[in-house]
Amino acid sequence: MALKITVIGTGYLGATHAAAMAELGFEVLGLDVVPEKIAMLSRGEVPMYEPGLDELLRKHVAGIEGATGRLRFTTSWEEVGEFGDVHFLCVNTPQKHGEYACDMSFVDSAVASLAPQLRRPALVVGKSTVPVGSAARLARTLAELAPAGNDVELAWNPEFLREGFAVQDTLHPDRIVVGVAGERAEKLLREVYATPIGDGTPFVVTDYPTAELVKTAANSFLATKISFINAMAEVCEAADGDVVKLAEAIGHDERIGRKFLRAGIGFGGGCLPKDIRAFMARAGELGADQALTFLREVDSINMRRRGHMVELARETVGGSFLGRRVAVLGATFKPDSDDVRDSPALNVAGQIHLQGGQVTIYDPKGMNNARQVFPTLSYAPSALEACRGAHVVLHLTEWAEFRDLDPAAVGDVVAARRVLDGRNTLDAAAWRAAGWTFRAM
Q: Does 168 bind ligand UGA (CB under 6 A)?
A: no
* Closer residue to ligand UGA (CB): 360 or 424: 424
**Considering the rule CB under 6 A, would residue 163 count as an interface residue with ligand UGA?**
yes
Footprint of ligand UGA on 216-235 (CB under 6 A):
219, 222, 226
Question: Is the dihedral angle over the CA atoms 390, 392, 394, 399 positive or is it negative?
Answer: positive
Q: Which C-beta is closer to ligand UGA: that of 271 or that of 331?
A: 271
Using CB under 6 A, which of 4, 59, 137, 162 touches ligand UGA? 162
Nearer to ligand UGA, 73 or 279 (CB): 279
Is 102 one of the catalytic residues?
no
Question: If DSSP codes are grouped into helix, strand and coil, which group holds residue 27?
Answer: strand
Residue 261 near ligand UGA by CB under 6 A? yes
Determine, following the binding rule CB under 6 A, whether residue 272 of this chain makes contact with ligand UGA. Answer: yes
Contacts of 329 (CB under 8 A, 6+ apart): 362, 363, 383, 386, 387, 393, 394, 395, 396, 397, 399, 402
Residue 53 to residues 13, 42, 85: CA-CA distances in angstroms? 11, 14, 25
For residue 69, the one-letter residue type is G
Cβ distance to ligand UGA smaller for residue 146 or 426? 426
Of the candidate residues 60, 72, 262, 418, the single one contacting ligand UGA (CB under 6 A): 262
User: What residues form DSSP beta bridges with 156?
Assistant: 126, 179
Amino acid, res. 373 = V
In whole angstroms, what is the distance from residue 256 CA to residue 251 CA?
A: 6
Q: What are phi and psi of 62, to 5 degrees?
A: -60, 135
Q: Counting contacts by CB under 6 A, is residue 441 touching ligand UGA? A: no
* Selected binder of ligand UGA within 59, 68, 82, 260 (CB under 6 A): 260
Cβ atoms within 10 A of the Cβ of 260, count?
Answer: 16
Binder of ligand UGA out of 30, 266, 357, 422 (CB under 6 A): 266
- In the window 381-400, what residues touch ligand UGA (CB under 6 A)? none
88 binds ligand UGA (CB under 6 A): no
As beta bridge partners, residue 361 has: 328, 379
CA distances to 34, 110, 161 from 158, in Å: 24, 17, 10
* Binding-site string for ligand UGA from residue 131 to residue 160, where x marks contact by CB under 6 A and - marks none: ----------------------------xx
Query: How many residues lie near ligand UGA (CB under 6 A)?
Result: 22
Q: Which stretch binds ligand UGA (CB under 6 A): 66-74, 95-103, 255-263, 400-408?
A: 255-263
* End-to-end Cα spacing for the chain: 57
Residues that bind ligand UGA (CB under 6 A): 129, 159-163, 219, 222, 226, 260-262, 264, 266-269, 271-272, 275, 333-334
